[in-house]
Amino acid sequence: MKITRVEAWLVKMQLTEPYTAAYDTIETTANVFVRIVTDGRIVGCGCAAPDEQVTGETPEGVLEVIRTVVEPAVKGTDPLRPALLRERLERGLRHEPSARAAVDMALFDILGKKCELPVWKLLGGYRDCMKTSVTIGILSEPDAVASAQQWIKQGFTALKMKGGLDVDSDVARVLKVREAVGDGIELRFDANQGYTVDEALRFIDLTRDARLELLEQPTLQGQPDLLGEVSREVSLPIMADESLASLRDAFRLASSDLTDMLNVKLMKVGGISEAMEIVAVAKSARLKVMVGSVDESALGVAAGLHYALSSPAVVYADLDGHLGLQDDPAAGAVQLDAGILYPTNRPGLGFDLPA
């Protein structure tokens, strides 16, 4: 089997409900969809979700490197040798992690279709479904409570609240939401780098009654030692997100004991292959892993889900990046029921993009 061509196109999608995080208000997203076509009638599908804040890429830049770097490098090659192809592409896509992720997805999709197995089974098959949290942006206290109650009515039992702009406001919202949802709901908080060490410690102290499950990336990504200061001072698990963009970052965070958990986003680290290596580092350091998402198509979420299902080290999922995206070409690539995500269980990633 040989690769005959690589197709890529840009899709801009509106969010039905814009949300606010510490660094921006998000109303739209743009994904680049990829089809790797072979002469064996198997087509591998992937997508990139570039984000200048998260991945350092633009949609137009990703589209360009797919056409000028990826297709010339892989055309005519055997897609069942993915390690060789990833090595060949590494230098040309060094600064384009979501582009790498899209190609990596498509190659895993081809492999799964060739083997007639879903990717999650090829990767290890530890579990067959996964609970996901759903995100509540920075809102007023009444709106945050209303949003939490609405998600719970839909069956979600894990909520992740955004903050990082003001500690006192964040504390008040968290306590109000906990009061409203009761004890049976998992509550997580993401400060998106918005706190100093002292602010993070104050937030943790003042929200003890809310029984948070974890605090995600309270301090600046460029100063990982600050994350370690927070982690060493408190019993609440501290999770690295923006501080983790590569296997090397995972090793540094783990070896220096700077965090308790890692948030692995395929778009940020470069795909399933790199994420599997990060899981190995996390497991060796006894760090728990959450698989996360950006604002991405259900196809990207499907890839994250297949990764999450593969290993016992991945204990949490925050795979809600596809919810509320209008006109997603890959709608249906995952199944969601009462806060639980299921793969389609078709071969590969379980979804075929239309030609």
DSSP-assigned states of every residue in 288-308: EEEEE--S--HHHHHHHHHHH
Q: Is the dihedral of CA 89, 91, 97, 98 positive or negative?
A: negative
- How far is the C-alpha of 147 from the C-alpha of 227, rounded, in Å? 29
3-class SS at 134?
strand
- Look up 190 and say whether it is catalytic: yes
268 included as an active-site residue: no
Active-site annotation holder among 113, 121, 160, 162: 162
Structure-token pair, residue 119: 């990717």
- Is residue 162 part of the annotated active site? The answer reads yes
Catalytic (active site) residue 131: no
What does DSSP say about strands 3-20 and 334-337: parallel, antiparallel, or unpaired? unpaired
The closest alpha carbon to 255, from 228, 223, 233, 291, belongs to 228
Marked catalytic residue, from 265, 268, 274, 320? 265
Q: How far apart are CA 178 and CA 314, in angstroms?
A: 26
Amino acid sitting at position 24: D
6 φ, ψ to 5°? -125, 125
Alpha carbons 109 and 88: distance in angstroms, whole number: 19
From 109, 190, 213, 274, active-site residue: 190
Active site residue 183: no
Residue tagged active-site, from 104, 241, 296, 320:
241
State the distance between the two ends of the chain, measured CA to CA, in whole angstroms.
Answer: 20
CB 290, CB 279: distance < 8 Å: no
Q: Which of 199, 213, 216, 320 is catalytic?
A: 216
**Active-site residue numbers?**
162, 190, 216, 241, 265
